[in-house]
Amino acid sequence: MAFAAQFAGVYLNFSPEDAASRSSKLAAFLAEGMDPQMGWDGYGKLAAVAVQPYDIEASDARNAVVSVAFQSGPRRMLLSVPIYYSGDDAGRRFVVAGRPAILPAPAPADLPQVAAPESDDAAAAELKPQLEGFFKEYASGDAAGLQRYVAAGKSLPSFGGAFSFSQLKEVVVPVGGATREIQAVVVWAVPSGDAPPTPNATDPAAVGGTLEQVYRLTVEKQGDKWFVADIRGGGRVVG
| DSSP 8-state class, residue 9 | H
Following DSSP, what letter does each residue of 65-78 receive, concatenated? EEEEEEEETTEEEE
**Rounded CA separation 100/50 (Å):** 18
pTM: 0.75
- Looking at residue 193, its pLDDT comes to 64
Q: What are the residue ranges in the chain where pLDDT is below 50?
A: 202, 239
In this structure, what are the phi and psi dihedrals at residue 148, rounded to the nearest 5 degrees?
-65, -20
Q: What is the CB neighbour count within 10 angstroms for residue 160?
A: 12
Contact in structure between 198 and 207 (CB atoms under 8 Å) = yes
**Kindly report the CA angle at 12 between 9 and 18, in degrees rounded to 5?**
95
For the chain, count helices (H), then strands (E): 5, 9
**Rounded CA separation 161/28 (Å):** 43
Give SS3 for 199. Answer: coil
- Looking at residue 228, its pLDDT comes to 96
Q: What is the CB neighbour count within 10 angstroms for residue 19?
A: 16
- In order of their start, the domains of the chain are 2-104 (3.10.450.540), 121-233 (3.10.450.540)
Residues 194-230, buried b or exposed e (16+ Cβ, 10 A)? eeebbbeeeeeeebbebeeebbebbbbbeeeebbbbe
Tell me the CB-side half-sphere exposure of residue 100, using CA atoms within 13 A. 28
- Looking at residue 206, its pLDDT comes to 57
| DSSP 8-state class, residue 108 | P
In this structure, what are the phi and psi dihedrals at residue 66, rounded to the nearest 5 degrees?
-105, 130
- Looking at residue 116, its pLDDT comes to 76
- Looking at residue 97, its pLDDT comes to 96
- Looking at residue 207, its pLDDT comes to 57
**Rounded CA separation 4/40 (Å):** 18
- Looking at residue 194, its pLDDT comes to 59
The percent of the chain in helix, strand and coil, each rounded to the nearest 5, is 20, 35, 40
